[in-house]
Amino acid sequence: MRVDATLADREVREELATEKGKSSSKKRRQKKLASMPRAVQRLFETCKEIFAEGGPGIIPSPNDVERLRSFLDTLKPANVGLSSNMPFFRNVGMDGPPPVTYLHIYACPKFSIGIFCLPQAAVIPLHNHPGMTVFSKLLFGSMHIKSYDWVNDPQGSNEKIKSSSVTSCAVLDVLGPPYNDDEGRACIYYKEYAYSSFPGDAIVLSGESEEYAWLEERGSEPDDLVVRGAEYKGPKVVDC
């Protein structure tokens, strides 16, 4: 009987130890899952504060820019319910650039939040952001970005960001304020030509012509651009 009691007691202790371990593991999973919606909600609340007094052509203060930039740096794909094996990121082998998928998270007159999902070799043509401040966070993957400032802007600069290998990727965009055709913030696409393609009065320093280009407005959205909307299934924003 003593032996049986000892074994029974041991079994109870082992069972309790196992259950405690399961409980601890469950708590860790719950804590991890709870942090995901908090990240999206914090992004929304940060944007709401930063763009509260914003409008066309109004740039947030340097402190606010750094505040939002620093927060975006911490975001991971899991925070918005994304993973690289989702169908949005598969190149289906069609002719021309594959379609881009847009996941809408939130929009109001002050700002919008969304995610562009690009399969490998997908392209978003050169376009503008009139009177808007744009924050972009590459959630995963790699991409090639090219941007221009008009040469008659004394504070402007040309910026080119290149990657040696372009893969499928996800980009979270915050726009403040968002596009609005009725308010003069329509998205205009451009064709790009080498600076040497056309004669002109523009004067550039010797050896720097490769940093410049002529841009021509397209009359309509490029025919080869396909952007599909899909349901965003990550943590939702609570606007209260």
Q: Is residue 136 part of a domain?
A: yes
Cis peptide before 60 (omega within 30 of 0): no
Distances (CA, A) of 36 to 77, 83, 235: 10, 14, 7
104: pLDDT strictly greater than 80: yes
What's the burial of 93, exposed, middle or buried (CB within 10 Å: 0-12/13-18/19+)? exposed
pTM of the model: 0.77
Give the C-alpha separation, 10 to 139, whole Å.
49
Q: Is residue 3 part of a domain?
A: no
Q: Is residue 176 part of a domain?
A: yes
The mean predicted confidence, pLDDT, of the chain is: 82
pLDDT tens per residue, range 2-37: 334 443 444 445 444 445 555 555 555 555 545 456
Q: Is residue 22 part of a domain?
A: no
Cα dihedral 104, 105, 110, 111, rounded to 10, equals -80
Average pLDDT over residues 94-117: 93
Q: Is residue 26 part of a domain?
A: no
- Domain hosting 110: range is 44-186+221-230
pLDDT for the residue numbered 212? 83
Average pLDDT over residues 110-133: 95
What is the number of structural domains in the chain?
1
- DSSP 8-state class, residue 189: B
A 10 A CB-CB count for 97 gives 18
Q: What is the CATH number of the domain that holds 123?
A: 2.60.120
Q: Is residue 31 part of a domain?
A: no
Q: Is residue 200 part of a domain?
A: no
